[in-house]
Chain A
Amino acid sequence: MFSARERFLDTNENTGQVQTHSNLKYRFRLNFYDTPPIEDITIEEFETCALDRLRVLAEIESSFARNRPYDELKTITLAQCQKYLPLHSSSAITVDTDAERRKDHIGHFVLRLAFCRSEELRRRFVKAETALFRIRYESDDREERGKFLGSRDFDWIKVSDGERKVYKEQLAAAAPTAKEVNVDNENYYKVKWTRVPDLVEKRRVFLKGGYAYVPSREQSSIVFQEFQTSLTKALEMTAKALPRLDEDTRIVPILNNLSQGFLAGVSSEWSTASSTEGDGITADMVEDLARRHFPACMRNLQETMRRDRHLKHFGRWQYGLFLKASRWVLGLPIEEAIAFWRKSFSNIQEDKFNKEYRYNIRHLYGLEGKRANYPAKSCTQILTTDQPGSSDSHGCPYRHFSADNLQTALLSMYSSQGLTAADLPEIMNTVKAGHYHVACTRVFEITHASRGVKKGEGVGDGESVTHPNQYAARSRELERGKAEAAKAEADGDVVMG
Chain B
Amino acid sequence: MSITEDTESPSPELMLAFYRRLYPFRSIFGWLNHEHAPTRLFTHREFSFTLQGDIYLRYHSFNTADDLKKQVCSLNPTRFEIGPVYSARPRDKKTVRPAAFTPTLRELVFDIDMTDYDTIRTCCSGADICARCWVFIAAAVRVLDEGIREQFGYKHLLWVYSGRRGIHLWISDREAMELTDEQRRALVGWMTVIQGGKEMHKKVNVRTGSRPLPPSLQTALNSLAEVFGELILTDQDCFASREGWEALLRLIPDTGIVKELREKWDTGPHRSSSEKWEDLKDQGRKYKGTPRRTALQTAMEDIILQYTYPRLDAEVSKHRNHLLKAPFCIHPKTGRVCVPVDPNRIDDFRPERVPTVGQLLRELDEIATTDQAEGAEHHSDWEKTSLKPYVEALDKHVMALMEETRRAKRKTDLTW
Chain A interface residues (CB < 8 Å from chain B): 118-119, 169-170, 173-174, 176-178, 192-194, 197-198, 200-203, 206-211
Question: Is B208 touching A200 in the complex (CB atoms < 8 A)?
Answer: no
Question: Is B153 touching A210 in the complex (CB atoms < 8 A)?
Answer: yes
Question: Is B211 touching A207 in the complex (CB atoms < 8 A)?
Answer: no
Question: Is A208 touching B186 in the complex (CB atoms < 8 A)?
Answer: no
Within 181-222 of B, Cβ neighbours of A (below 8 Å) are at 182-183, 185-187, 189-190, 206, 208-209, 211-218
Question: Is B189 touching A202 in the complex (CB atoms < 8 A)?
Answer: yes
Q: A179 CB to closest chain B CB, in angstroms?
A: 11
Task: Give B210's nearest chain A residue, CB to CB.
Answer: A178
- The contact sample of 23 A-B pairs, CB cut-off 8 A, is A173-B211, A174-B214, A176-B211, A177-B209, A192-B175, A193-B187, A194-B183, A198-B186, A200-B187, A200-B189, A201-B185, A201-B186, A203-B189, A203-B214, A203-B216, A207-B152, A207-B190, A207-B216, A208-B150, A208-B153, A209-B151, A210-B153, A210-B175
- How many chain B residues touch A (CB < 8 A): the figure is 27
Question: Is B212 touching A173 in the complex (CB atoms < 8 A)?
Answer: yes
CA distance A174 to B211 in the complex (A): 10
Query: What residues of B have a CB within 8 angstroms of the CB of A197 in the complex?
Result: 182-183, 185-187
Question: Is B213 touching A177 in the complex (CB atoms < 8 A)?
Answer: no
CA distance A97 to B271 in the complex (A): 78
Question: Is A209 touching B150 in the complex (CB atoms < 8 A)?
Answer: yes
Query: What residues of B have a CB within 8 angstroms of the CB of A169 in the complex?
Result: 215
CA distance A39 to B286 in the complex (A): 78
Query: What residues of B have a CB within 8 angstroms of the CB of A193 in the complex?
Result: 152, 187
CA distance A474 to B152 in the complex (A): 55
Q: Does B122 contact A (CB under 8 A)?
A: no
Task: Give A210's nearest chain B residue, CB to CB.
Answer: B153
Question: Is B150 touching A201 in the complex (CB atoms < 8 A)?
Answer: no
Question: Is A203 touching B190 in the complex (CB atoms < 8 A)?
Answer: yes
Task: Give A211's nearest chain B residue, CB to CB.
Answer: B153
Within 131-173 of B, Cβ neighbours of A (below 8 Å) are at 150-154
CA distance A176 to B213 in the complex (A): 10
Query: What residues of B have a CB within 8 angstroms of the CB of A210 in the complex?
Result: 151-154, 175
Q: B263 CB to closest chain A CB, in angstroms?
A: 36
Q: B304 CB to closest chain A CB, in angstroms?
A: 17
Q: A264 CB to closest chain B CB, in angstroms?
A: 21
Question: Is A173 touching B150 in the complex (CB atoms < 8 A)?
Answer: no
Known A203-B216, A210-B175; contact A119-B183, beta-carbon cutoff 8 A = no
Question: Is B213 touching A173 in the complex (CB atoms < 8 A)?
Answer: yes
Q: CB-CB contacts of B338-370 with A at 8 A, as 1s and 0s?
A: 000000000000000000000000000000000
Looking at the complex, which one of A174, A194, A202 makes contact with B175 (CB distance below 8 Å)? A194
Question: Is B215 touching A173 in the complex (CB atoms < 8 A)?
Answer: yes
Question: Is B190 touching A200 in the complex (CB atoms < 8 A)?
Answer: yes
Q: Does B373 contact A (CB under 8 A)?
A: no
CA distance A207 to B151 in the complex (A): 5
Task: Give A176's nearest chain B residue, CB to CB.
Answer: B208
Task: Give B193's nearest chain A residue, CB to CB.
Answer: A203
CA distance A201 to B314 in the complex (A): 13
Q: Does B414 contact A (CB under 8 A)?
A: no
Q: Does B1 contact A (CB under 8 A)?
A: no
Query: What residues of A have a CB within 8 angstroms of the CB of B151 in the complex?
Result: 207-210
Known A193-B152, A209-B150, A209-B153; contact A203-B206, beta-carbon cutoff 8 A = yes
Query: What residues of A have a CB within 8 angstroms of the CB of B211 in the complex?
Result: 173, 176-178
- 8 tightest A-B CB contacts, nearest first: A210-B153, A197-B186, A201-B189, A170-B215, A201-B186, A209-B153, A207-B151, A203-B214
CA distance A170 to B219 in the complex (A): 10
Q: A169 CB to closest chain B CB, in angstroms?
A: 7
CA distance A419 to B310 in the complex (A): 51
Query: What residues of B have a CB within 8 angstroms of the CB of A174 in the complex?
Result: 214-215
Q: B360 CB to closest chain A CB, in angstroms?
A: 39
Query: What residues of B have a CB within 8 angstroms of the CB of A200 in the complex?
Result: 186-187, 189-190
Question: 18 new A-B pairs (CB below 8 Å) besides A176-B211, A177-B208, A209-B150?
Answer: A173-B213, A173-B218, A174-B215, A197-B185, A197-B187, A200-B187, A200-B189, A200-B190, A201-B185, A203-B190, A203-B217, A206-B215, A207-B216, A208-B150, A208-B151, A208-B153, A209-B151, A210-B152
Query: What residues of A have a CB within 8 angstroms of the CB of B185 in the complex?
Result: 197, 201
Q: Does B102 contact A (CB under 8 A)?
A: yes
Q: Does B99 contact A (CB under 8 A)?
A: yes
Query: What residues of A have a CB within 8 angstroms of the CB of B214 in the complex?
Result: 173-174, 203
Task: Give B216's nearest chain A residue, CB to CB.
Answer: A207
Q: B325 CB to closest chain A CB, in angstroms?
A: 27
CA distance A211 to B154 in the complex (A): 11
Q: Does B329 contact A (CB under 8 A)?
A: no
Task: Give A122's nearest chain B residue, CB to CB.
Answer: B99
Q: B306 CB to closest chain A CB, in angstroms?
A: 17
Task: Give A167's nearest chain B residue, CB to CB.
Answer: B215
Q: Does B252 contact A (CB under 8 A)?
A: no
